[in-house]
Structure 1
């Protein structure tokens, strides 16, 4: 009994470990926060034990979740209540130490908790990524569909406006028949909701359109109504098919993503199991080999599932079982979807065949319609017009040939007359040009002679004026000299008069006078000599100037003569140049006129030829078209007669098939839905049956091996529970505040 009592706490602790792992998977963020949050003293907080947190009973199973004991996100400083989490006060010894602090499996428990938290965090991360991808796809799809809806709305508005402009002003007073409700997809609630905002405009414009087509026979209107109904049904089925295909594609994508995630997780699980799980398995194996050990190694026995709490192996088996069920259901759904796709393909092919048959009515239907009669009358009118146009075309050809010959004759006559007139005018122009050249030559010669004479006269005038000026200067100088000579003569006469009284003059005075006279004489001599030299120089300069002027006059005369000769040559060259230019102009004018005439003639010939070719082509084409239309008409009449018989038989078959399809569609739909549900249930039940068989075999194997540690633990716990120890367990759990499920204890008892 004492041994069993010592083993019970170990079993309870193992169950607590498994409960903590299960609760860690439910709220990983809060557990990581409790594990890694620092205390007020600044030290790392230890792991929150199972005995310190306040237990909160679950409504279904009685197991406390991690979310119920997590810390609040923000702590109000004004709140007087103490925080939920206990603070570490190890300084004064006020805090109670962890009861499992000295246990040898404490590190394994902490590592196991962290591994469980990390795995759940990875699972949340994968779910978050998948949800983000789905959200992006949905946002893209919504934007795409919103753009399409806007375009459709704009197209509806434009269509209504264009139809209104084509139909003219609306007559509100007239009573119009309501159009057929099959055009509104009466059996589609979603489409009616979408068109509810625009139904008034669409109804008004369609009723106006149908008011113009009510003049036909009742058979045509009945056919049109039936065709509209069938088209509406076809469009509704096509819309449902597209919706089902889109949902199928989304489900396939999600299935592929889930299968990929499952495969990756399975590979990771097989490839890299945590160290804690490996250690626990090792301890389990060691505990199975040493069942009676009470030493320190015996304390590390495997933590078997107690009180109904499943171990990691059982959880993996349950997950594998659920995964197998889902895989089986998905495979069955794939098969069903493939069958539905095949059925939809067959239905679509049948719909297209029926549409082709409807879009191609028989020739008899065409023959009885007003449109065919109208076209036949128009065809007869066109044939009559073509015959009339052929007759008029022949007459017009003859008239055109006559007019063409007259035009050519008149053109030749006009060309000859214009050539004669041009020749006469050119001869007159040449005579006038020669006279003008002769007059210009005479004028140029006279102008040159006149200019030469004017230049000679001007040079002679300049020379005479200069000589006259020199003569006047010499005459003035001579007069000055004569006056000076007379003055000197008078002075001499005045000096000669008192010679009689020389004896009376004293000697010194005479000497002084003599000296003065001597000085004056010398001065006069010098003056005369200078005057002589000046006169000589003046005369020489004057003669030199006269010679220079005469040479310049001769040179000017020679240059004027040369200039007159050069002017004559220049005028002659200019005259010849003008004559050549006139000849070139006349030749160019003649050439341009002749080229214009030739080009006009060529253009007229080309236009006439093209017109003739076009008319001949049109005539041949109209004849060929007429012959082909006649042959087609005969063939069409024969086909109409043949198709009438075929259509009568097909109408009877269509009516029979309609009745059969209406009766069988409902039964087929209900049977197929029930069959699909039954198949999915069968697949899931098959998987569960296989899993139960496997678990049964496992339990059989376990029951055969009585020496296993699990069997011993369960047997000892059963002995302990037989002694009515439930009250003790409850008291101990109340004292330690564990997260042990009470409902599981009752089940074990």
Structure 2
């Protein structure tokens, strides 16, 4: 089932504007027709819509007023927050707790109490110092109290204005009903129907009493008309009184606006004070003295800073000179040590070369001496061997001479020859053996000589290696001693460098502290200058505002007294209006009683006609679906009126069609009316 609801954005604004042409035509005479009933319904809807439009205009006006008040409250809140933070920052050097208007009432109350206590703590010494300003503060407090009373009076008058506006709306609704053509038409028809049967019945039965009844009715109608005229006159009087009260209320609002404007002017003037006013203020004098003391202390600090800078410069120069001198001494000593080391190394090389030459000569001489000894021994051995050979030859010759001569003589010639041959062979063998042994001996001698030479060479090389080893060990010892000396010198230089670094770090830390202190002092100086300028400006504004406040305080008091008088006058006028309203209500009750008496005095025929008319009216005003409840809900899509129960039942049953014209509607097309 498609949704037939119309969104609110599609409703044209022309529907809420007053129509320039009449809704329908209304019959002038005769019984009420269906068109008259439709006209009656449409006019009732139209009156209700006008009433709604009037309420909407009132609500929009109230909404705009409350929006303006909310904006002013927000601006005042921000101004007070900024003022409070500035006061706390200047006096207490604390971070205030933020105030969140979206929080609960208890939290806001706790924050306000805390702020009140902090302000009291901060402002008590200032108030004790400024005893001259107590009178001005009391005047300001009194003015604030009177302002609050005026605001309360304004709120009361606004409430009374709202009640009067509601009464005016009801009166406008009654006036619209009185000006309605359908209601007049129905009242005229009812009066005609009442008069016709009464005149007919009385004309048939009592012809003599018709004139008296007509006269009584005319008298009653004339009395009612007089009462109605009086009520209209009193209504106009009430309306005029309401307009006068409204004008007075507007005047009161204007005066309150002027008072607020004057208060704002006072605050603006308070922010611009003169030098004379500042000179009268003890707080300003104390601040000026404090500023002077701060400037003097700042000058002393600047002087101390200059002295410290000079000392720092001198220490830096001394440190630089000391570093240069130490570095120069270290470089000179290092250069001298290097020169000594190079000289000692050259002497060591020279001594080593000379030592090696001498050792070589010594070894050569030793070898020569040893060679001489071996040669002498060999020659001695050869001499000994030759002597022994000679001795052996001589002994053999002697033996041969002595023994062999006798034996040879005894022997024969052949035997001698054989023996000679044998001896010659033995001699050859002996010579050969001697030569062999001699050769072997000579070879052995050569080998021993070579071996001795090799041993000598090896011993010479060993002695050279030992000398080189001992020389290298001596060199190592000298180098170790030199290394130890250099290490001690390097350690001393490192200790000196560490000391210099520590001195440099100490100087740098002192420089950092001095720079930080200088920056802090500069910031303190700038902050004090800024604060003194702000305080001077604030004091100027306060002095000017105090003068303006003292001048305008009397004017505000007079305005408040006038407002009080006007309040009393308005209260008396309201009392008189209430009395007049009570009188009018009494008159209205009397007229209603007269009408009831008039209705009771009528005949039964008139009552029957009235009942018929009432039935006809009930059929018009009661729901055509259930014929039980009054018509109070109209379908704006077609204009037909039913009771709310039947319409809601049809919506619940999803029968979204008008029972009369079968036109579709939705819950957005319903409008409640009052017949």
Q: TM-score scaled to structure 1, two decimals?
A: 0.29
Larger Rg, first or second structure (1 or 2): 2
Q: TM-score scaled to structure 2, two decimals?
A: 0.32
